Structures are given as C-alpha cells and as structure tokens.
Amino acid sequence: MVRPGFRLPPAKGLAFVSSVTTVAVSRNLSPSIADKAATLESARLLSLALLQHRAELQLRNEVTIPDSLLLAARKEKYNAVLGIEQHWQLAGGANLPVLDYLLAQQRQRYALLTVASGLTYIPKWPPPNLAGLPRLGSSPGPPYTPAGQPRSNIFLLIYDQQQHAIVYYRHTPPLATSEPLDGLALQHDFAKLLKKDFPSAKKRD
C-alpha cells in the first residue's frame, strides 16, 4: 500500500530503525503470554534479516532507539500498524513523536520501519512423534491437527518525517504459520515481502 502522491524513493535515501517485535509463548499449551527473551531473540533475527539486504537496498544509517525511549517507540509503532490495519488506508497522518525526534537529530526524512509479532510453543507442537499421524477413527480427513500452530507476522513501513505520515505499508499474510524464532523461515518471509516493491532484493533469494 502506497500513500497517494508518493513514489518509493531510492533505497539509498532510507534510514532504517531498530526492529520492534513482540513474541508470545505458550508453554505446555497453556495460554500464551508475551515473553521477553523470545521477543529479544525475534528482534535480533529480524534485524539480521534486514541487514542481509542492506547492500542491495542501499540503506543508510541505522536509527537506534535508546533504552529510555524504547517503550514509547514500541507503542507508537504498534499503534501505527493497528491504525492502518483497521482502516486500510494511508490518507491520514501518524503520531510518532519519538521517531520524529530521532530522525530530526539525523536530518533524515524517510525511514524504513520493521515491526513483527509472533506466537510460539514450548515444547514445539506437535511433538515429532505425533506430527503427520493420521486422525483417530476411520473417518477420512487431513493428518493429525495440533491444538495450536505458531504464528509470525512481519510489517514493513516507510515513514516520512516531513509529512508526519506513513507513506508505504506491506505485511506478510495474516495467517502465516511460520515459527517466529526460526531464523531461516523469518529470512525467507522477509525476502518474499521485500520482493513486492524492492526488485533488487530478488538477488538474495
């Protein structure tokens, strides 16, 4: 999705901001809760996936979010994603004062934002000895279906600090069942997402 009147700028004109992620963990099929360790690992993996494409995309400097502003920045980014998902348009502005402050310090207009959310299970589900087993009983149907599946969602945004608006937005399929802490799966999903509008990213896949 692209904001009316906006054309994707040369990749070299983009800074990139520290990835923001949240991963919830369900242990022994109990209700899932956000997990700090899983979230930090997810952010690390997403940052690595982006850095793999830095040369092709010719991204500029990284805008690092200081610890003192991290909580506010996380809230701003997730609110921006939620607003777009609810209304599915980029016509309005975006309230990202932390990002405005950081970009102004570096005199940078455009910034690439990577946001992700996910759900994982501990232990992995289904266990290896159950995966692929036929359903119980004689009725036809698909193989054994687990009580839950992992989820991984990646959101890619471009923010225009001059207009205070999100001018570009893409996301992976909402029902993607990739494991959020699987680095290879995340790299594959991220590369596929980039291919939509960044042709140079095709070179890596």
Q: Is 185 exposed, middle or buried (0-12, 13-18, 19+ CB in 10 A)?
A: middle
> Is position 133 within any domain?
no
Query: How many domains would you assign to the chain?
Result: 1
Q: What is the pLDDT of residue 195?
A: 84
pLDDT at 56: 74
Residues 114-148 have pLDDT tens digits of 999 999 998 875 555 544 444 344 334 333 334 57
**Looking at the domain assignment, is residue 76 inside a domain?**
yes
Look at residue 137 and tell me if it is in a domain.
Answer: no
Between 97-105 and 67-87, two packed helices, what is the crossing angle to 10 degrees? 120
Burial of 143 (0-12, 13-18, 19+ CB in 10 A): exposed
- Asked, for residue 5, whether it belongs to a domain, the answer is no
* Residue 83, domain member (yes or no): yes
Q: What domain range is 68 assigned to? A: 11-128+146-204
Q: What is the pLDDT of residue 10?
A: 55
Q: Which range, 5-9, 53-57, 60-64, 141-145, has the best average confidence (pLDDT)? A: 60-64
